Structure 1
């Protein structure tokens, strides 16, 4: 559809905004153009969709840094729903977008004080603390959040990332293991846990990393990062088992290392991506300890 939204009728424009909402299409610039051309002076005619459109325009304005428009939409929603926690989160989002973090935190903490189960407000507190570089405070808030919402997969993933930032690898691994409980068939979750175990180092962690890389590749044989991880992990294990004299485990690591190298070469030949060949060449240049 052409971007000349002035040619749309009122109902056509309303249907277009509804379509974007239902399809989860952000389209912030387009939403603001439709708003300025069609709806800015005819909000009352929106009927039952008035509040949905105001919320849609509010977030579009934040995306595009049109804080005047966002404030206007927020004030209209506050007049309609003066005690709404959802509208209060809009106020906090406006403060956050303008980097008024203290005001945003005050608003969110007030919501949490009145409703301890408000998950969205608690998550925004973590996001603001992270934006301010207060990683330890963000970790504390997220740990408290997960005590009440243990099944939130995204929260476990975020907590794992935060622990990695402060190099607390054991706790990051624990969070990654929680992710596996919720997503046992997600090859990326297995690969992520393997990456953490590989980073932690040591024979025991390398053995665990090998198992998780193998599981990731069983779920998705085309996971190139898991292939590279398996190659590096088994190459490290070969060095250890050669000196320790454990021939059984050394043979197993040797077979996996050769398999990972061969699988990478096959995938590289099959893929036209320009970044695939350098990866395979780098693996071929790495010496395998026999």
Structure 2
């Protein structure tokens, strides 16, 4: 185990190292941040110590041997961790301390204020702060994200929520997580075609993400139609290639290939003949998936029997 991994830093009580590691690796560990942040900055964050800089002499905490930038980074980290665990008092204390070192009019301080207002339940106040930030800079991605989050938390505002997320993605088109969020939102609203578009963007950004291919395949299968069902099985097969243990993708592949065969059986003779090769591929995929699922559930009691019955029903007419 490396001396610079998180467990080693925690064991050594390297408070500054722990905070740096969590920031660098973008981890969400609020309890660790609070524990080591308090230990680093001092249990009484309101006390001060003298320093050679007359401005900073009223700012830096007793226990700190940090330079100003490191101290501010630790305070902000502690503030956000406090918001995560709903410790509004500690978050407010951290924000007050930051304001003594940084102009309250700075974009970062105003954004932290908005986060604190959100945490305390003042959504209108937080939204006003973010609107002010966007007035100053319409491309402020952090403010756009928080406006979306506020709307997402309120029932009955699905259209406004979608509009807010679209505004964010117009300026941050490479954010795969944002596209996934839009895909899930469109799915919840029943707009499956828009959801497939969003997840296509996710797959473009993360082509080796098995779960993303699986979700996209399921969405294409939900939209339906022969062309979409072929796309569904393509992405579900890719999901399984990336993660052969993905049972969800395996079930979905059998279902999508079976649905494609049903669609083809209803089509006219000329269309069936045109898709003859794809029909054979679909049949083989159903057989393949059924065999894998039966094998995967062997020895699992009643579930094994149920899977066997369902899969035999799927392959019985092939």
CA contact (8 A) 1:206 1:237 kept: yes
The CA distance in 1 between the partners of 2:141 and 2:24, in whole Å, is 23
Tell me what 2:121 maps to: 99
Offset of residue 137 of structure 1: 0.6
Alpha carbons 1:222, 1:267 under 8 Å: kept: no
Match of 1:199 among 197, 216, 222: 222
Match of 1:258 in 2: 287
Tell me the TM-score normalised to structure 2 length: 0.77
Alignment of 1:170-189 (within 5 A): 170-189=193-212
**Which residue of structure 1 aligns with residue 57 of structure 2?**
none
Residue 100 of structure 1, CA deviation: 0.9
Residue 25 (structure 1) shift: 4.8
- TM-score when normalising by structure 1: 0.84
Question: Which residues in structure 2 correspond to 1:1-290 (within 5 Å)?
Answer: 12-22=14-24, 24-34=26-36, 39-41=42-44, 43-44=61-62, 45-48=64-67, 49-82=70-103, 83-133=105-155, 134-244=157-267, 246=272, 248=276, 249-268=278-297, 281-286=305-310, 287-288=313-314, 289-290=317-318
1:174-217, CA deviations, whole angstroms, 9 ceiling, x for partnerless residues? 11112222222322222111111111223332222122212222
Structure with the larger helix share:
1
Q: Distance in 2 between matches of 1:26 and 1:86?
A: 19
RMSD over aligned CA atoms reads: 2.8
Residues 234-265 of structure 1 show CA distances to partners (whole Å, capped at 9, x for unaligned) of: 22223333344537343332211010111223
List gaps (5 residues or longer) in structure 2: 1-5, 48-60
Deviations, residues 150-174 of structure 1 (Å, cap 9, x unaligned): 2121111111111111111111111
Corresponding residue SS for 1:235 = helix
1:174 is paired with a residue whose SS is: helix
CA distance in structure 2 between the partners assigned to 1:187 and 1:26 by the alignment: 23
* CA shift digits 1:71-114 (9 cap, x unpaired): 11111112211132112111111111112111111101111111
C-alpha contact 2:208 2:242 (8 A) present in aligned 1: yes
| Between 144-153 and 180-189, the greater mean CA deviation after superposition | 180-189
CA shift for structure 1 position 283: 3.5
